[in-house]
Amino acid sequence: MIIQVKANKEAGFRRCGVGFTNEWSNFDEGFFTHEELERLDGEKNLSVRQMPEGNFNKEEMAAMRDAAAKRTVERKAAEKVAGEGVPGKAREIKVDPALAKRVADLGEGLKLATADMADLQRRTNLLAERLDEVEKKAEPAKDDKKNKK
């Protein structure tokens, strides 16, 4: 089974360490943990659906499986660093879950604000172009008034 996820916002959305656009992104079923899938499925800013593997070619399937394997390795390495097997103070570090959530939420807010700024810049540029067009159309009218005098 392939998991497809997309953001319901044009600006995109980030959850479970992955940024999503408003286009469907494909993930092998092993890419997310069961808990992450539940979190994605419960997120109102995302749409999640499952698709049969037969809808994708061999190259697409291989790429999705490679990404899932890489994420699994990274997750296990992070778990190892956070827990046993790491000498010294790394084992002693404890992260306050509320603080970690607040940091993640602030990161989400920053990404959304950055996307909003880019959208505002695009709109500003469009307005500037329209103003230039209006001014060009208005210039011949000014010249006509000068010629009549």
For residue 101, pLDDT beyond 60: yes
Q: Where does the pLDDT of residue 11 fall: very low under 50, low under 70, confident under 90, or very high at 90 and above?
A: confident
Tell me the pLDDT tens digit for each residue of 20-32. 898 888 888 888 8
Cα–Cα distance between 138 and 145 in angstroms, integer? 11
* Beta-ladder partners of 46: 7
pTM over cut 0.85: no
- Backbone φ/ψ region at 123: left (φ over 0), alpha (ψ -120 to 50), beta: alpha
Residues 52-95: pLDDT tens digits?
A: 888 888 888 888 888 888 877 877 777 776 665 555 554 455 67
Higher pLDDT, 10 or 42: 42
What pLDDT shows up at residue 45?
A: 92
**Residue scoring higher pLDDT (110 or 94):** 110
pLDDT of residue 92: 55
Give start and end residues of each alpha helix (H) in 51-96: 58-82
Is pLDDT of 121 > 70? yes
Mean pLDDT of the chain: 81
